[in-house]
Copies of this chain bind each other. A is one copy, B any other.
Amino acid sequence: MKKILFATTALVMTAGAAAAADVAVRGDARMGVLYDGNEWGFTSRARVQFNLSGETDGGLTFGGSFRVNDEGGANTGDGRRLASEGSRGTVFIAGPFGRLAMGAPAGAAEAAVGDLHEVGLTGLGFYNEVNYLTGDGDGIRGPWNPTVLYSYTFGDVTFYASASDGRDRGGRVENPALSTGSEDYGVGLAWAAGDFKIAAGFESSQVTNLVGDPAVLTTYGRQEQWVLGGDATFGDFTLRAIYANGDRSVAAGTFDYEEYGISGSATFDLITVTAFARETRQDTATGRNTNTYYGLGGRYDLGGGAALVGGIGYRDLADGTDDTYGDFGVTFRF
């Protein structure tokens, strides 16, 4: 992510002109093997992302970004997730008033608190990620169209607020909402000073469900949750802890939910080792469901944007599933 190559940088450098608006083209790829708890398989991918950036005459910065594969998702159920319709990618404008982003940014709670450290070549199920209720495109909720995230930093403190309008496929007069989504909102606050960071977030999400045949989208109420997180960095070692508490909805209703986790990352020269442990506790009509996840990962930097990456994971689920999985391979950044 650190290496951003501007396609027009050389033009600027050579001509000395202030070409304010640029499109940067960046890529990443990976290849390796994956054990999914059942059998081994090959895994690979190649992606390209566009980073748009510019500046107004008055000094406001603006831009956006999206990946090529977020422009058209075919039959995978991602059909609506298009950057050209605000369901993927982001657009932003920033200035003295703060930063306003639209599209598919993280919700305010996620932007403030974040997730545990990720392990493995492929993310290994992304069980390091907190179950955020709003704006978490890769989480348990679908993406809305679009989400808005506002952030403002004063000194060591950053404030976040996010909302979605609950209107799926909205945003066009000639194509009004095909269905009504969930009206979500969230707020977050992060305090970062030197090697320490403390953050908190609150989020609230409408509970909707398709009921009957023909299906009618029905709203049952709201689910809400608090999320707390802290980071501490000691030289090349970073520790992170997260706690969430609220109520979440399952088929039988809305019940208490609790989640906590810890993760760490340590870098020794070219080698980085990462680990996490996370547990979720969901009350249900028939009792408490507890899911536990562990992950351990390593990375060896090959230089030039390449690295050897691998990880192993373990999950112990309330439904009796008890899996060990892992992956190994090379990742590239371009």
Contacts and interface: CB of A to CB of B under 8 A. Distances in A.
Interface in A120-137: 122-126
A173 B34 contact: yes
A86 interface: yes
A277 to B, nearest CB: 17
A43 B90 contact: no
A44 B334 contact: no
A74 interface: yes
A246 interface: no
A29 B62 CA distance: 10
Interface string A299-315: 00011111000000100
A46 interface: yes
A4 to B, nearest CB: 10
Contacts of A85: 45
B303 A58 contact: yes
Contacts of A248: none
B46 A21 contact: no
Nearest to A174: B125
Contacts of A227: none
A56 B19 contact: no
A232 interface: no
A161 to B, nearest CB: 13
A333 interface: yes
A66 B332 CA distance: 15
Contacts of A26: 23
Interface residues of A, number: 105
A30 interface: yes
Copies in the complex: 3
A73 B66 CA distance: 16
A271 interface: no
A116 interface: no
A54 B332 contact: yes
A217 interface: no
Interface in A42-96: 42-48, 50, 52-58, 60, 62-69, 71-76, 78-80, 82-86, 89-93
A23 B4 CA distance: 11
A123 B174 CA distance: 10
Nearest to A83: B46
A1 to B, nearest CB: 12
Nearest to A166: B41
Interface stretch (A5-13, A204-212, A236-244, A258-266): A5-13
B84 A173 contact: no
B84 A334 contact: no
A37 interface: yes
A170 B305 contact: no
6 tightest Cβ-Cβ pairs between the two chains A and B: A57-B303, A10-B10, A72-B72, A43-B171, A74-B79, A44-B102
15 contacts: A5-B23, A9-B11, A11-B13, A14-B14, A21-B334, A23-B25, A36-B176, A38-B176, A39-B167, A42-B148, A45-B83, A52-B334, A54-B304, A58-B302, A124-B173
Given A36-B172, A93-B306, 11 more contacts: A10-B13, A23-B26, A39-B167, A41-B167, A46-B65, A46-B83, A52-B334, A57-B304, A62-B332, A74-B80, A75-B75
